[in-house]
Copies of this chain bind each other. A is one copy, B any other.
Amino acid sequence: MTPELRSLGVREIALDNSRADILAAAARCFMDRGYAQTSIDDVARSLGATKGRIYHHFPSKGELFAEVFRAGMDMNFAAVKPLSDLPGPALPRWRRMAMVHVLQMMVTKPFQRAVWIGVEMHLAGATTPEQRTVFNELLDYRTRYGNLFRATLLQGRDEGVFRFDDLSVTNQLMFMSLNSPIFWYSPRTGETRAQTEALAARVVAYAQGGLVFEGERAA
């Protein structure tokens, strides 16, 4: 039996748990204070640990952030990709995709905020050209995710359920609506799953309204 195929021992599981804990703590710090304002010591302190632990698992602050970004996008892809592959008319598929996406924004908010911060940082501090390459890869990842929705939007326009002229602008507007919970949503104490979903449904309904509205009639 090769080492690669052997099942994970307690050692490996503990390692993965430690990594995952660091990622979650880092996501929360990045959400609270932004990238530049967050120090490695901040992340370590929020874990009751020190720098040594962080740098044992991640080579640099930039790489730690990149991993948080990837984790967030991985979760989005895992949730939405299966739905986007389904056949059938555009509108019900779009509604399911949008609903799952919004719920992701709410439930994994720290990671999604980190993704947002990453997109906003396009031309920021990445001094090293290799860091630049990593960053472009992350943005590509994000673009590919966006394309899942673009295809359904186009199909919906063909089917007459969506009305828009400029796909890029519409895509921006739609994502801005669907992503907005990462800025204003905060779970109520003792919030039930049904309440969370009701709120998400409101967001989806708003975005759908923007997509189907005839628009531009004079007031």
Interface residues of A (CB under 8 A from B): 32-37, 91-92, 95-96, 120-121, 123-125, 165-166, 169-170, 172-173, 176-177, 180, 183-184, 199, 201-203, 205-213, 215-216, 219
Contacts and interface: CB of A to CB of B under 8 A. Distances in A.
A177 B120 CA distance: 17
A207 B210 contact: yes
Given A176-B177, A177-B173, A206 B215 contact: yes
Contact of A95 (B183, B203, B210, B219): B219
Main secondary structure of the interface of A (DSSP, over half): helix
A210 B215 contact: no
Contacts of A166: 202
Given A33-B124, A213-B208, A219 B172 contact: no
A71 to B, nearest CB: 22
Contacts of A205: 210, 213, 215-216
A160 B96 CA distance: 29
A164 B116 CA distance: 27
A170 B206 contact: yes
A45 B14 CA distance: 49
Contact of A173 (B32, B121, B203, B211): B203
Contact of A34 (B36, B199, B208, B211): B36
Contact of A210 (B34, B170, B209): B209
The winner among A33, A37, A184, A210 for most chain B CB atoms within 10 A is A210
Given A91-B219, A211-B209, A212-B213, A172 B176 contact: no
Nearest to A175: B180
